[in-house]
Amino acid sequence: MKIKALALAATMLLLAGTAHAGVRQYQDGFENSPATKWRTVGHAGYDINTGNARTGQNNAWLHVGGGAGARAHLYTEVQTGVDGPSTCTVQIYAHPLNDRSKEVDEIAIYDNTNTVSRRVQPSLRPGSGYEPITIGGIQITGPRTLKIFVILQDDGRGHDGEWVRLDDFSVSCQY
């Protein structure tokens, strides 16, 4: 009898962990009219059917040059589609196109209360092709619109600029 009670207690403890009801996911590979979903500022845009994408046919790009303070960014908004507490992950692939493009200067994620959920400055390895940039552990407490900015800024070293291609953007929220 004691063994059954201990086995039942052990099973209850194992099952008492955090339960997640599911996962909501948003994906955008810049395939379907990217200019309708993404806003660009500065020298930024899209390669359409040029063979430069990581997957599919299209990708986005950022370019800065011309001195310190030159800046370009892409921006989009994503409805998380979850009602309760959730943990979200944002991922995008970046491809540095020259030796000067060693980082994406900032990826900033805000929620619809304009609270900064996360800011990162990921390093890149020129010559390595597309690299994943993953930002996890973004805690939200209910329905949210995540605002995602990908920013590139010239370091002002007097060269012809930095180029980065972007592809395969996704947001995944466990609730």
pLDDT at position 12, please?
40
Distance from C-alpha of 110 to C-alpha of 138, rounded to nearest angstrom = 10
CA 96 to chain centre: 16
Q: What is the pLDDT of residues 138-149, one digit of tens each?
A: 988 878 889 999
Which amino acid, 100? Answer: R
Q: Which residues of 20-31 are buried (b: 16+ CB within 10 A; e: fewer)?
A: eeeebebebbbb
Handedness of CA 120, 28, 93, 40 (dihedral sign): negative
pLDDT band at 123 (very low <50, low <70, confident <90, very high): confident
pLDDT at position 21, please?
73
Tokens representing residue 124 in the block: 């890149």
Q: How far is CA 64 from CA 4, 43, 108, 162, in A?
A: 68, 7, 18, 5
Give the SS3 label for residue 138. Answer: strand
What the chain holds in terms of domains, given with CATH numbers, is 20-174 (2.60.120.260)
% the chain with pLDDT above 90: 49
Q: What is the DSSP letter of 17?
A: S
pLDDT band at 159 (very low <50, low <70, confident <90, very high): low
% the chain with pLDDT above 70: 83
pTM: 0.82
